[in-house]
Amino acid sequence: MSQQSVLYDTLGPKGRRNVRIGTALGLVVVAAIVAWVLWQLEASDQLEAERWGILFDTESGVPQSLGRALLNTLRAAAIGMLFSMILGAFLAAGRLSDHAWVRRPVDVVVQFFRGIPLLLLIFFVFLGLPQLGVNLDLFWSLVAGLTLYNMAVLAEIFRAGILSIDRGQSEAGYALGLLKTQVMALILVPQAVRRMLPAIVSQLVTLLKDTSLGFVIGYFELLRQGRSIVEFLGPRYGLQIYVGVAAMYIAVNLSLSLLARYLDKRTSRNPKIVFDPKAEEVEPVVPLGRE
Amino acid sequence: MTAIVENLDLYWSGFLTTLSLSLLAGLLAFALGTLLAAFRVSPFPPLQALGTFYVETFRNTPLTVVWFFAVFALPLIDVTLPSFFVAGVVALGLYTAAFVCEAVRSGINSVAAGQAEAARAIGLTFTQTLRLVVLPQAFRTVVPPLGNVWIAMVKNSSIGAAFAVTELTAVATRLVNTYPADVIAIFAGSATGYLIITIPSGLMLGVVERKVVVLR
Give the model confidence (pLDDT) of A245-259 as tens digits. Answer: 999 999 998 888 888
**Is the torsion defined by CA of B159, B165, B168, B169 positive or negative?**
positive
ipTM of the complex: 0.86
Q: Confirm if A279 and A271 have CB atoms less than 8 A apart.
A: yes
Q: How confident is the prediction for chain B on average, in pLDDT?
A: 88
B77·A239 Cβ contact <8 A: yes
Binned at pLDDT 50, 70 and 90, residue A6 comes out as low
Apex CA B210: angle with CA B205 and CA B216, to 5°? Answer: 125
Chain A residues near residue B41 by CB distance under 8 angstroms: 4, 7
Instruction: Give B35-76 pLDDT, tens digit per residue.
Output: 999 898 888 889 999 999 999 999 999 999 999 999 988 888
Rounded to whole angstroms, the Cα distance separating B18 from B95 reads 17
Confidence (pLDDT) at A270: 58
Confidence (pLDDT) at A278: 47
Nearest CA in chain B to A47: B77
A213·B172 Cβ contact <8 A: no
Domain boundaries, chain B: 2-215
Helices (H), A129-283: 129-131, 138-163, 167-175, 180-182, 189-210, 214-217, 222-233, 238-269, 277-282
Rounded to whole angstroms, the Cα distance separating B102 from A7 reads 17
Instruction: Give A116-150 pLDDT, tens digit per residue.
Output: 899 999 999 998 888 888 888 899 999 999 999 99
Class of the CATH-defined domain B2-215: mainly alpha
Instruction: Give B121-157 pLDDT, tens digit per residue.
Output: 898 887 888 888 888 888 888 888 898 899 999 999 9
Which of B78, B156, B162 lies closest to A43 in CB terms? B78
Chain A residues near residue B195 by CB distance under 8 angstroms: 115-116
Q: Confirm if B40 and B55 have CB atoms less than 8 A apart.
A: yes
Which of B41, B161, B180 lies closest to A4 in CB terms? B41
Rounded to whole angstroms, the Cα distance separating A197 from A149 reads 19
- Give the gap in angstroms from C-alpha B158 to the nearest C-alpha of chain A: 6
Q: CA A45 → CA A35, A237, A245, distances in Å?
A: 15, 11, 20
A250·B48 Cβ contact <8 A: no
Which amino acid, B68?
Answer: F
A127 touches chain B (CB under 8 A): yes
